[in-house]
Amino acid sequence: MARAAVQRRLIWRTARVLDNRAETDRVHRLVLEVPHWPGHLPGQHVVVRLTAEDGYTAQRSYSLASPPDVPQLHLTVERLDDGEVSPYLTDEVRAGDELELRGPIGGYFVWSAAADRAGGEPRPVQLVAGGSGVAPFLAMVEHHQRQESPTPLRLLYSARTAADVIGRDVLGAETTITLTRESPPDWPGPTGRVDRDLLARCTFPSTDRPRVFVCGSTPFVEAVAATLIDLGHDPSAIRLERYGNSEEPK
Amino acid sequence: MTDTASDLVAARRLDGNAAASTLAELFAVDLTEARSRCASCGSTAMLGAHHLYADAPALVLRCPSCTGVVLRFAAQRGRLVLDLSGAQLLVVPVPDDYADNGADDEADNEADDEADDEADEAPPAE
């Protein structure tokens, strides 16, 4: 499966929407059925193409939020009010609609239990997410759970408020959530931005030689990556996925 | 947030990983896992770790060490245009790395054949 997922020539596929539900105020979860889906690796993305009646097309990349262990594809789409694509996907798309997509795409920002088994020495996996950048990590965490992988894995996830947290049904003991804007009085976890102190307290230390994945807005990813390097992590062990700034990811 | 030009450029920076779909218009293998040696500074990094500027007139990948332009790719008037002059050497893994991971399926065969054909034509790795 892994081999096919990385190698297959990309074609446009028709996805049928099974469900479109609000996960938070701004983020919807689209559940898609794609006939003959070749399988994917946790962390890979797809490109969704919308075509208007006049033939105008717009394409956007979305990380797959579901692991290869389940047959449907889940996308978590954040509504950007000035966006061309995301308001349509969050507010207009209904169950039964069809979308064009192609994928799976990208062999760089991926982790799978199988690759660890094949790779010999298992190394811990540290995931760091800002906001909707948690999407590829939902796939990795659920895959890790379903495979009962022995690889130590942790996620540090920064969300603005408790109501903005995506993927509550998946995230478990491996996850530390920090709330940056406001937190309920009984919030058990940390609060405040992902800074040096929080990374030092809530992630694998560099001496454990973890593979590190960081995903979120460009400023978030670059700040976290610089701090991780400062904390002694090997730059070549850190993989980044920047979602850009506030505008819709292309 | 400041509004200097350099900060605006920095905020639009993405990763080479996000170029995978566009490059798939031309390449049958995933280039984000390819290692590229920068023609400007000689450093080597995976294309997925390069800096991507996707909203330039062309897709532009820059070296993460020296920010030199490594690859430009554009679709213009019915043509795909690829400028690789900034990449001194590109080493693309053929997916034998993945052969023994125990997660296989029959539908692999077609893709395997394609990959094998390309491996035959590829220059030897270092």
Q: Does the structure show a pLDDT above 50 at B113? A: no
Same domain, A126 and A232: yes
Decide if A249 is inside a domain: no
Strand partners of residue B14: B52
User: What does the pLDDT read at residue B66?
Assistant: 95
Residue A239 to residue B114, Cβ atoms within 8 A: no
Of A67, A88, A105, the residue at which a domain comes to its end is A105
Average pLDDT estimate for A85-114:
93
B124: nearest Cα among B91, B87, B76: B91
Q: pTM score, two decimals?
A: 0.84
How many structural domains comprise chain A?
A: 2
Q: Measured between CB atoms, which of B10, B48, B115 is closest to A109?
A: B48
Q: Based on the domain organization, do A123 and A89 belong to the same domain?
A: no
User: What pLDDT was estimated at residue A164?
Assistant: 96
- Predicted confidence at residue A23, as pLDDT, reads 95
In a domain, A247, yes or no: no
Residue A2 pLDDT class (50, 70, 90 cuts): very low
pLDDT tens, position by position, B21-44: 888 888 888 899 999 999 999 999
Q: How far is B93 from chain A (nearest CA, A)?
A: 11
The residues, ordered by sequence, that sit 6+ positions from A10 with a Cβ below 8 Å of its Cβ are: A102, A103, A105, B21, B24
How many Å apart are CA B43 and CA B88, to the nearest integer? Answer: 10
- So what's the pLDDT on residue A11? 87
Q: Per this entry, what is the length of chain B? A: 126
More confident residue, A115 or A5: A115
SS3 A248: coil
Per cent of chain A over pLDDT 90 is 82
Structural domain includes residue A153: yes
Distances (CA, A) of A82 to A15, A26, A63, A65, A78: 25, 13, 20, 23, 12
User: Distance between CA A213 and CA A192 in Å, rounded?
Assistant: 20
- pLDDT of the residue at B8: 57
**What tens digit of pLDDT does each residue of B8-22 get?**
566 678 899 889 888
- pLDDT band for position A119 (50/70/90)? low
Interface membership of B118 toward A (CB under 8 Å): no
Both A145 and A180 in one domain: the answer is: yes
Asked if A54 and A78 sit in the same domain, the reply is yes
- Domain boundary among the residues A73, A105, A137 is at A105
ipTM over the 0.85 cut-off:
no
- Of A78, A105, A132, the last residue of a domain is A105
Residue A18 structural domain: 2-105
Q: Is a pLDDT exceeding 70 seen at residue A17?
A: yes
- Is 60 exceeded by the pLDDT of residue A195? yes
8 Å CB contact of B49 and A249: no
Does residue A229 register a pLDDT over 80?
yes
Per-residue pLDDT at B5 exceeds 90: no
Q: Is B115 on the interface with A (CB under 8 A)?
A: yes
Measuring CA to CA, which residue among A243, A231, A222 is closest to residue A76?
A: A243
| Contact between residue A101 and residue A15 where contact means Cβ atoms under 8 Å apart | yes
* Domain match, A41 and A155 both: no
* Mean pLDDT for the stretch of residues A225-234: 97
Both A135 and A66 in one domain: the answer is no
Q: B56 pLDDT exceeds 90?
A: no
Q: Considering only CB atoms, which chain A residues are within 8 Å of B16?
A: 108
What gap in Å lies between CA B36 and CA B34, rounded to an integer? 6
- pLDDT at site A124: 96
Pinpoint the alpha helices (H) of chain A.
2-7, 86-87, 113-118, 135-146, 196-202, 218-230
Does the pLDDT at position B106 exceed 60? no
Here the tokens at position B86 are: 């900034």
Looking at the complex, report in whole angstroms how far the Cα of residue A8 sits from the nearest Cα belonging to chain B. 6
Token pair of A131 as six digits: 């906001």
Residue B81 neighbours by CB under 8 Å, 6+ apart: B58, B72, B73, B74, B75
Hey, where are the domains in chain B? 5-95+105-121
Give CA–CA dist A108/B47, Å, rounded: 9
Q: Where are the alpha helices (DSSP H) in A113-250?
A: 113-118, 135-146, 196-202, 218-230
Do A123 and A100 share a structural domain? no
Looking at residue B11, its pLDDT comes to 64
Chain A positions touching B112 (Cβ under 8 A) are: 3, 7
Alpha-carbon radius of gyration of chain A: 18
- For residue B107, pLDDT over 60 is answered with no
Out of B18, B21, B99, name the one closest to residue A3 (CB). B99
What average pLDDT does the segment A194-213 reach?
Answer: 97
Q: Which residues of chain A lie closer than 8 angstroms to B102, CB-CB? A: 114, 117-118
The number of beta carbons lying within 10 Å of the beta carbon of residue A94 is 8
| Higher local confidence (pLDDT), A218 or B100 | A218
Is the same domain home to A237 and A145? yes
Report chain B's mean pLDDT, rounded to a whole number: 75
CATH, residue A100: 2.40.30.10
Residue A154 in domain: yes
Question: CB of A43 within 8 A of CB of A140?
Answer: yes
Contacts of A4 in chain B (CB under 8 A): 105, 107-108, 111
A164 or A2: whose pLDDT is higher? A164
Average pLDDT, integer, range A51-80: 93
* Segment (H or E) for B9: helix B5-11
Residue for token pair 């009085």: A185
Domain membership flag for residue A81: yes
In chain B, which among 31-60 make CB contacts under 8 A with chain A?
32-33, 46-49, 54-55
Residue A151 has pLDDT above 60, yes or no: yes
Say which residue the tokens 């035959």 belong to: B120
